[in-house]
Structure 1
Amino acid sequence: MKQSANVTWHQQSISKQERRERNGHHSFVVWFTGLSGSGKSTVANELARKLYENGVQVYVLDGDNVRHGLNGDLGFSDSDRRENIRRIGEVSKLFTDAGSVVITAFISPFKEDRSQVRGLLEADEFVEVFTDCSLEKCEERDPKGLYKKARSGEIKGFTGIDSPYEKPDQPEIVLNSGEFNPSECAEQVLHYLKDRQFVSLKNA
């Protein structure tokens, strides 16, 4: 993205490490990716509740919610989807710099876009979680009725139907969200974060 020549970076007086120490935990991004209906938002919010109950400063950035405000000017073309993810990546980096944990729930269908977000962060600040659920199962759930509209031609360029979804090659976590319920999936992520010493769990 082209950057204005008339801007200067100002170093902040409070460091990321100081903010982490104040919050009492590591700061990082948990990036949920997967097909519509795979359970991203539900599991993300289950995880957020569990982290919150363990004293973690956490916030969820949900695909639909963000499109009500920050990304309300974007459609669903490939270029708009890329811009959607670019913006969320930058916002996620700000949360990380602020010493917080941010959980994102976006289809984010393209590997390159997810890789660019990973590149914005340090090696221990990005946890990619693939909610692995078959297209058939997602269509069966169809919580928003979007697959039905896509199949009937009311929606064009719908991921999984007439627009591709590129599965992650090496995500940190793969959740079988077609088999396990949201709470069980959230527990799997929670224990990964505990094992990596990203968070300590008081109520688990």
Structure 2
Amino acid sequence: MSTNIVWHEASIAKEERRAQNKHQSFILWFTGLSASGKSSVANAFARTLFERGNQAFVLDGDNVRHGLNNDLGFGEDDRKENIRRIGEVSKLFVESGQIVLTAFISPYRADRQVVRELVEDGEFIEVYVKCSVEACEKRDPKGLYKKARNAEIPNFTGISAPYEEPENPEIILDTEHYSIEECAQQLTDILTAKGLI
């Protein structure tokens, strides 16, 4: 790392951006198994926020790997770097006064904690998209579980690589028993009650 880098203070403070947007800025960190519904719920809720006039953006795991993180694989070290990078990007969104919704498996608790520590208290909201591996495997919209079972995909979370469930998530969405629309409504109710949106 270069020692010739100096942080340049922004002319517009985060608080000013929040005041203009009329809502808080924070990270909604959706974590869960592949096919649990992370991206579906995040996008459904982003539409709700948009229609309410809230500034929000979804960072999806697959989409980010098409660009910013296209040099990373799925081994443990690359997974950690994937989450570190997206954590830093998410922090920028928070500073810009927006709500950022991140849909990443993010299988390791320690990596999620690293992102939590990048931002201020209350700016990281862990959303555990809870769905059993059996239910996810039945859905398997991308055919990934089948490939993992046939050893075509190594290090597949829930099959040949671990997933560490959140111990104390701020929000749990049970996508095995509730629809995407119901989960999005649950998020709306919870965040409205907290005065965040």
TM-score, structure 1 as length reference: 0.95
Aligned to 2:98: 100
Aligned to 2:24: 26
Of 164, 167, 170, the match for 2:168: 170
Q: What is the CA-CA distance between 1:22 and the residue it aligns to?
A: 1.1
Q: 1:40-69 CA distances to partner (integer Å, 9 max, x unpaired)?
A: 000000000001100000000000000010
Q: Distance in 2 between matches of 1:4 and 1:170?
A: 37
Aligned to 1:112: 110
Report the residue type matching 2:131 in the other structure.
C
Q: What is the CA-CA distance between 1:166 and the residue it aligns to?
A: 0.1
Q: What is the CA-CA distance between 1:145 and the residue it aligns to?
A: 0.3
Report the residue type matching 1:161 in the other structure.
I
Report the residue type matching 1:11 in the other structure.
E
Does residue 43 of structure 1 match 2:77?
Answer: no
Does residue 142 of structure 1 match 2:145?
Answer: no
Find the residue that maps to 1:10 and give its secondary structure.
coil
Report the residue type matching 2:121 in the other structure.
A
Does residue 88 of structure 1 match 2:86?
Answer: yes
Aligned to 1:187: 185
Q: Distance in 1 between matches of 2:130 and 2:160?
A: 19
Gap regions ≥5 residues in structure 2: none
Q: 1:110-163 CA distances to partner (integer Å, 9 max, x unpaired)?
A: 000000100011111111000110000000000100000000010011000010
For the aligned residues, what is the CA RMSD? Answer: 0.6
Aligned to 2:72: 74
Q: What is the CA-CA distance between 1:195 and the residue it aligns to?
A: 0.7
Q: Distance in 1 between matches of 2:181 and 2:69?
A: 29
Q: What is the CA-CA distance between 1:86 and the residue it aligns to?
A: 0.3
Aligned to 2:125: 127
Find the residue that maps to 2:17 and give its secondary structure.
helix
Runs (4+) off by over 3 Å? none
Q: Distance in 1 between matches of 2:136 and 2:77?
A: 25
Of 53, 62, 65, the match for 1:64: 62
Q: Distance in 2 between matches of 1:4 and 1:102?
A: 29
How many pairs does the alignment contain? 197
Q: What is the CA-CA distance between 1:20 and the residue it aligns to?
A: 0.7
Q: What is the CA-CA distance between 1:13 and the residue it aligns to?
A: 1.1
Residue identity over aligned pairs, in percent, reads 59
Q: What is the CA-CA distance between 1:4 and the residue it aligns to?
A: 2.1
Find the residue that maps to 1:179 and give its secondary structure.
coil
Q: Distance in 2 between matches of 1:196 and 1:4?
A: 41
Aligned to 1:197: 195
